[in-house]
């Protein structure tokens, strides 16, 4: 194999350790839309619970959409929401015991949760904007822990 060929990294010799990653992202919208999301009065139904389930599904299925991502046995995946003026913060957390981290799973979960909220609100709001998807922290593994600091809320 030459150095410029795409390859999945061999993690077989790495130690199994407890891993955790947290990601966040935001979706902006009109105030009326935010009220409808909070009150679960959208035509499509409860956007937050649908987004939560979508986030968990995305975390579990990340290797199906990210070509070189290793399949992992996820032990925990969660999705929480925080409301601000005209925007929602989505925060996802993923854990496993494995040979590689769960950063991609946390980021995929966050992205899919935001896209699900977008899908459920696009019929009532043309101003939707997804932004600032990023890794907040990771724990475990040879490279050590990472903590970004306070969120950009």
Catalytic residues: 119
Contacts of 132 (CB under 8 A, 6+ apart): 24, 25, 26, 152
For the residues of 62-94, what is the DSSP string, one character each? Answer: HHHHSTTPPP--EEEEEEEEEEETTEEEEEEEE
Whether 132 contacts 150, CB under 8 Å: no
Whether 135 contacts 107, CB under 8 Å: yes
Residue 108 in tokens: 């995929």
């Amino acid at each position: 194999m030459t150095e410029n060929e795409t390859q999945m990294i061999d993690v077989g010799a790495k130690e199994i350790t407890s891993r955790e990653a947290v990601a966040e992202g935001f979706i902006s919208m009109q105030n009326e839309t935010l009220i409808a999301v909070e009150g679960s009065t959208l035509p499509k139904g409860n956007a937050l619970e649908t987004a939560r389930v979508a986030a968990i599904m995305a975390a579990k299925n990340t290797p199906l959409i990210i070509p070189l991502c290793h399949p992992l046995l996820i032990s925990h995946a969660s999705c929480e929401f925080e409301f601000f003026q005209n925007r929602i913060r989505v925060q996802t957390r993923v854990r496993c015991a494995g040979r590689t981290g769960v950063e991609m799973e946390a980021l995929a979960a966050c992205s899919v949760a935001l896209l699900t909220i977008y899908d459920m609100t696009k019929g009532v709001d043309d101003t939707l904007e997804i932004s600032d998807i990023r890794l907040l922290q990771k724990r475990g593994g040879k490279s050590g822990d990472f903590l970004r600091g306070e969120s950009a809320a």
